[in-house]
Amino acid sequence: MRIAVAADELTGVAEALPAALRRRGHELNLHGAYSRAERADWAWASERAARDVGDGRADQAIVACWTGTGASIAANKVRGVRAALCGDAQTAEGARRWNDANVLALSLRLTSQAALEEILEAWFRGSSSREQSDVENVEHVGRIESQPG
């Protein structure tokens, strides 16, 4: 799977994230602090990774900043992106299942190496629900983003 990855600094699990994804067999598009050619700040880095998803250059993305909140907010501004800030495996599993999330946001401050492995396992094991109410909710989110103001 093609995964866009962005972090605003190489601290905490940001250093381990690319290797953890490559061990799982993913092809990476690296942004922000992972690329000397790009601005590393969370808004710019997260936007680049999210645009990879929105434009079809990546299947999913993982974005990270100190709290994960800014990275999630920036990613969610890109059409077609459903970013979820996940601090544990259960949240990651639910985000994939019920929200069909395609961008995982992580906190560099709170995510331990052990939690990272559990979150990634749940995220990539998960798939979107086909239950009618779940599908309708995701479709409604798509309509919300296409409405003016």
7, 13, 65, 119: the catalytic one is 65
Residue 86: active-site member: no
* pLDDT tens readout for residues 72-113: 999 999 999 999 999 999 999 999 999 999 999 999 999 999
Hey, what are 95's tokens?
A: 């985000």
What's the angle, vertex CA 58, arms to CA 143 and CA 66, rounded to 5? 85
Res 64: pLDDT = 98
Domains and CATH numbers, the chain: 2-146 (3.40.1400.10)
* pLDDT tens readout for residues 25-82: 999 999 999 999 999 999 999 999 999 999 999 999 999 999 999 999 999 999 999 9
Closest CA to 92 of 72, 66, 65, 70: 72
Hey, what are 12's tokens?
A: 């905490």
Band (pLDDT 50/70/90 cuts) for residue 148 is: confident
* pTM (two decimals): 0.96
Q: Reply yes or no on whether the pLDDT at 147 is more than 90.
A: no
Quote the CA–CA distance of 43 and 21 in Å, as a whole number.
22
